[in-house]
Amino acid sequence: MATPRAQWSGRLGFVLAAAGSAIGLGNLWKFPYITLENQGGAFVLVYLAAIAVVGAPIMAAEIILGRRSRRNPVGAFGLLSEGKPGGRAWKGVGYLGVVAGFVILSYYSMIAGWTIRYILLAFSGSLGELAHSPESLEAFFGSFLANPGAQVLFHTLFMGATVAVVFFGVGRGIERAAKLLMPILFVILMILAVYSITTPGFGRALSFLFRPNFADLSASSVLEALGHSFFTLSLGLGSMLTYGSYMRRRDSIPRSTLTICALDTLIAIMACLIMFSIIFSFDFEVSKSSTILFTTIPVIFFKLPGGAVICGLFYLLVSFAALSSTISILEVVASFAIDELGWHRRRAAVTTGVAIWLFGILSALSVGGVQTLSSFNPIGRPSTLGVFGTLDYLASNWFLPVGGLFIALFTGWILTREETRDELEEGNGRLGWSFGIWRFMLRFAAPAAVGAIIVSVLLGAEYQ
Ligand code: TRP
C-alpha cells in the first residue's frame, strides 16, 4: 500500500462531505417528529445546547483522531494509543464503530429506500389520489411495508447507489457526490422554505419552535435531545473520524466543525418550519408521528397548488440527504477493510456493501412482510418492531453513546493537552481561551452528559 492516502481537494470538499454525512434522515424525518412529540420550544432549546456542549466538542475530537492518524477508526485508535494507558485495548472503540456502522447502515438504507418509492409515486401522479385522505395513505403505507418484494427492491436500489459512490473513492466518488447533491438539496429546501412562509401556519410554526415553555420539558425529553444530537451529527461510530482522515493539514478543524454543526442545525430547523407551517395551516391531526413523513406530509402537500411537484421535490431532497449520509457510514466499514485487511478500495466497497445489504434484508422483511422477523424481540421491550426495531434500539441507545463516551475520554484524557492543541491549531492559527473551553467540555461536560444517557438506558428509560 504505497499509495499516499487520498485527500479532499480543499476545505469546501471536506465541509460539504461532512455536512452531507450529518444532514440526513435524522434532520428531515426524525427531528421533526420528536420535536412534535416533545412540544417544541423548550425541547429545541435543549437540543441546541446539546449540539453546542456535547456534539460540537466530540465532532472536533473525532476529526482530530482521524487527521492525526490518517487511518480508519480501528487503525486510528491502534496508532494513537501506542505507549498510552490502556494501550491497544482502545482499538475496541474502533471495532465498536465499525460494527455500529454495519448495523445502522443495514436498516437506514431500508428507510431511505422508502423515499425512492415516494419520489416515483409523487411524479407519476398516483400519490395525488392516495393523498385525498390520511386513511387511504396509511393503508397504502401499511401494505407497502408488508410487501417483502418492494421492501427488498428499494433497499437494494439504495445500497446500490451507496456502493457505487464509495467504489469511486474519496475524490471522484464521495466529494463529487457531495458537491452535486448538497447544493441541489439547499436549493430545494430554499424553495420549500419560501413556500412555507406564504402559508397561514408559518407564524404558529415559529412560535411552536422558538417560544419555550419549560413546563413541557421532562427528563426524558432532555435525554432524547442529547441522544439525537449524536445521531444527527454522525457521531460515535467514526464517520467524522474517517472523513477527518482525508483532511488536509492546512485546513482548520475548529472552523470546519462549527460550519458543519451550523449547517446541520439550520437544515433541521428549516425542515421543521416547512412541515409545521403546512401542518398548522390545516389544523391537521397528526397521528402516528414516527411515520408522518410518509403518511401525513403528502396529504398536506397535496392540499396546495402544485402539490405533486412540490411533494416530489421534497422526497428527492430527503433521498439526496440520506444518500450523502449512507455514503459516510459505508466509508467507515470500507476504509476499515482497506487499511486493516489490505483490500483494494473497489473490492472493499463491493464486499462490505453486499454484506450490509444482505444483513439489511432481515430488517426489510421485518417491517411487516415476514411474521417471525416482525415479532423478533430478544430484548423484550414492549414497543420493539422486530429485527429493525431491535437493531435501531441497540445502535442508537448503546453503540453510539458508548462510542461517543470513549471518543471523548480518549481525546480528553489520554491524548495530551499539547497533542490536541497542535492538531486543532494546525491550519487554524493560535487558539486562545476557546481551546480551554473545548477541552473542558470534552473532559467533563460531554462524558457527564453521555454518561447520563447510558445510565438512563440502563435503568430502562425509553428515550428514543
Ligand atoms: N447523521 C445522519 C442523519 O442525521 C446519519 C448518520 C450518518 C450517522 N453517519 C452516521 C448517525 C454516524 C450516527 C453515526 O441522518
User: Under DSSP, is residue 151 helix (H, G, I), strand (E, B) or coil?
Assistant: helix
DSSP-derived secondary structure letter, 252: -
Give tens-digit pLDDT for 110-130.
Answer: 999 999 999 999 988 888 888
C-beta separation of 152 from 160 below 8 A? no
pLDDT at 64 over 80: yes
Instruction: Name 173's Cβ contacts closer than 8 Å, sequence gap at least 6.
Output: 164, 165, 166, 167, 327
The DSSP result for 86-106, as a single string, is TGGGGHHHHHHHHHHHHHHHH
pLDDT at 296 over 90: no
pLDDT band at 288 (very low <50, low <70, confident <90, very high): low
Percent of the chain residues past pLDDT 70, beyond the cut: 96
- For residue 320, which of 194, 180, 192, 196 has the smallest C-alpha distance? 180
Best residue among 30, 226, 232 to mutate for probing ligand 1's pocket (most ligand atoms within 8 Å of CB) is 232
Measured in Å, residue 215 CA sits from the centre of ligand 1 at 31
Q: Which domains does the chain have, with CATH numbers?
A: 11-458 (1.20.1740)
pLDDT band at 464 (very low <50, low <70, confident <90, very high): very low
Residue located nearest, by CA, to atom 9 of ligand 1: 234
Global pTM reads 0.94
Q: Three-state SS across 358-380?
A: HHHHHHHHHCCCCHHHHCCCCCC
Cell of 461: 428509560
**Residues in contact with ligand 1 (CB, 6 Å cut-off):** 21-22, 24-27, 231-232, 234, 236-237, 239, 325, 328-329, 400
Give tens-digit pLDDT for 5-19.
Answer: 899 999 999 999 999
pLDDT at 201 over 70: yes
- The rounded distance, in Å, linking the Cα atoms of 407 and 453 is 15
Instruction: Name 302's Cβ contacts closer than 8 Å, sequence gap at least 6.
Output: 127, 128, 131, 132, 308, 311
pLDDT at 37 over 90: no
Q: What is the mean pLDDT of the chain?
A: 91
More confident residue, 335 or 219: 335
- For residue 352, which of 121, 119, 105, 20 has the smallest C-alpha distance? 105
